[in-house]
Structure 1
C-alpha cells in the first residue's frame, strides 16, 4: 500500500473497527517482542504508529508505574479503538505523525514500531526523527507479528529486493539515520530488528 500519510490514514481508518478481530492471537507475540528489547522499570517508551494499541499493555508492564508510555498514531479511528479496548489506561495517546513528534530531543529510552517502516513516507528522515527523540544508547525495535516471507504470502506477493525490512537494506538505512542495527530476526512467526541510538 502507499506510504503517503493521507492514504495511510484512509487505509487504516476504514479498517480500524475490525482490526483487532482480524488478528486476535497477536497479543503473546507482541508481549514477547517487548520482553526482548530490554526495557527497564522507569523507562520512557514510544509506540510509534501504535494503531489500536496492542503493544501498550506489554510496554506498560515492562516500564512499570514509574515509566512513561506514549502511543502515537496518525489515524483517529485507530486511537478510538485503542480507547474502546481500554488500552489508553496503559499510555498517553497522541494523534500525530511520527515524522513530526511533539517531544523534546532525547526524551525517550526506546521506540517500538509494529509494522511501521513500510508506512513511512520518508524512511530516512522519519527514522532520523525517531533518533532525535531517543537518548544515545536508547533502542528502536521494528516489529511485525509474522516475518517478511509469511507476510508477502498472506498478501499474495513475493518479497522484492527493494524491501526496506530486508537486513541488507535496513542496516544502511538505519546507519544513515542515527541508528546501529544490533539484532535481526526474520522468521515465519516473527520479525524483530533492534537498533541502538548512536552516540554522536
Structure 2
C-alpha cells in the first residue's frame, strides 16, 4: 500500500475496521496520556483528525468536559461504523470527511489531535495547512502515535529512514511552512508525540 493514496488508505482500513480495536487493546492509556499533554480546557473545541474507531474520543471528551465540542472525522465509513458500535459516538460528533478538505469554518477549533495521520495524507504540507486553517491563532496540534517511529517501523519489518517526515529535523520546517510552531517533540519506544502551536 502506498501510505498516502486515499483510495488505498480507505481500502486498507475498511478491511481492518471490524477488529481494529482488538488488535491494539492496550493503547487506551497512551492515548489518554498524550491527550493530557495538549493542554485542553473545559469548553474547548477539539477535532480528532482521522479518528478511526474513535479511541481518542473518551479522553478528548473528559478533557473538554460537557460544554466542550469533540468532533471526529475519518475518510473510512467502516471505521466510523466501528466507532458507533463501540459507543464512542456518545463522546463526540462523528463525520465522514477528508481531513484535507474539512467542512469547517476558519479558526473555529482550539485544538486538533491526530493519531497516525501524517503518513496517510496525500499531500502532508497541504493537509497541515488545512488543519491550521480550522484552528484559531494560538491553538494546538498534537501529532501522536502510541509507539515511537523506530518501534513502529520494526513492527512493519522496516527501519527508520533519514527522510521520514516525522523526524524532528524534517517535521519542524514542515510544520512551520504550514503555519505551526513545533513546541515539544518526543519519539520513544512507548510513544510519538509532537505538539505544535498555531502561529
TM-score, scaled to structure 1: 0.98
Q: What is the rounded CA distance, in whole Å, between the counterparts of 1:166 and 1:91 in structure 2?
A: 31
Counterpart residue number, 1:74: 75
Look up the SS of the partner of 2:95 in the other structure.
Answer: strand
Q: What is the rounded CA distance, in whole Å, between the counterparts of 1:166 and 1:57 in structure 2?
A: 29
Q: What is the rounded CA distance, in whole Å, between the counterparts of 2:152 and 2:20 in structure 1?
A: 16
Q: What is the rounded CA distance, in whole Å, between the counterparts of 1:148 and 1:38 in structure 2?
A: 24
| 1:1-200 equivalent positions in 2, closer than 5 A | 1-2=1-2, 3-198=4-199
> Alpha-carbon deviation of 1:162?
1.1
Look up the SS of the partner of 2:52 in the other structure.
Answer: coil
> Alpha-carbon deviation of 1:150?
0.4
TM-score, scaled to structure 2: 0.99
RMSD between aligned alpha carbons? 0.5
Q: Deviations over 1:50-71 (max 9, x none)?
A: 0000000000000000000000
Look up the SS of the partner of 2:26 in the other structure.
Answer: coil
Q: Deviations over 1:88-127 (max 9, x none)?
A: 0001001000000000000000000000101010000110
Count of aligned pairs: 198
Question: Is there any run of 5+ residues in structure 2 with no aligned partner, and where?
Answer: none
Question: Is there any run of 5+ residues in structure 1 with no aligned partner, and where?
Answer: none
